[in-house]
Amino acid sequence: MRPLSPQFTPYGWALSTAEIAQRAGIGPEQVLRFDGNTQPDPPPWARPETVASALERIQSYRHGGFPELLAAIAAYNGLEPENVVLGAGADDLLMLCARAYAGAGDRVAIANEPSYPLYRVAAWVTGADVGDDDPALTFVCRPHNPSGAMVDLPAARPLVVDEAYFEYGGETALHLLGSNDVVVVRTFSKAFGLASARVGYALADVELAGELNARQEPAPVSTISAALALAALQAGKPDVSDTIAERERLHRAQ
């Protein structure tokens, strides 16, 4: 088996809700979690009828992929379907970018650390180390996790801009498409409220998106997850105003 980077530490999952409840001596229904940065309630489109058609054909492969979802994602972002790469959540696409650019002996840079720990894991599983010296790839989280700040975009290329929280910040790096080797990664896990469905997407120039799609697994998204994501986009731009208002209230109270 190919050796991993000597820096490697596997991704560490948080305790399950059941484990937290057991430690605290309370019922699982009494545990309120804030560590996942997800919505407290499921979205209105997460209902049985949304996935009924997919369930009726669950025994079959979805030949031809998901052109309707690609078109909807492209329209949401003012791009073309050829600019879109699907993945099983943003994490899958971050891993895809890492293995597309980095390998043993390379370095991957992470802007504004501490940041999302998966960037390090994505680098390490390719055999690369994490460091700023002539990096093969640079990750930046914008808005930044965990601070929430709208950090500056690094000049380094290739650059992966993780915009998991784009809808809460309103600024994007999509204007950099057209320059060399910039990938913007988004997710349906946060503002769209579909964290467990595991649907994400990357946006890049057509040529670069094609290269990433060629390196992506054949079916990274399930038919059920794709149906939920398509319904989310058809419902319109997610309304995150309540969350932003609460964020501002807490900020003023500090």
| CB-count exposure of residue 194 (10 Å: 0-12, 13-18, 19+) | buried
> Which residue carries 């809700």 as its tokens?
17
| CB-count exposure of residue 242 (10 Å: 0-12, 13-18, 19+) | exposed
254 residues of the chain, pLDDT tens digit each:
888 888 988 888 889 999 999 999 999 999 988 888 888 888 999 999 999 999 999 999 888 899 999 999 999 999 999 999 999 999 999 999 999 999 999 999 999 999 999 999 999 999 999 999 999 999 999 999 998 899 999 999 999 999 999 999 989 999 999 877 999 999 999 999 999 999 999 999 999 999 999 999 988 999 999 999 999 999 999 988 888 888 788 878 87
> Which residue carries 């290329």 as its tokens?
157
Question: For the whole model, what pTM was predicted?
Answer: 0.93
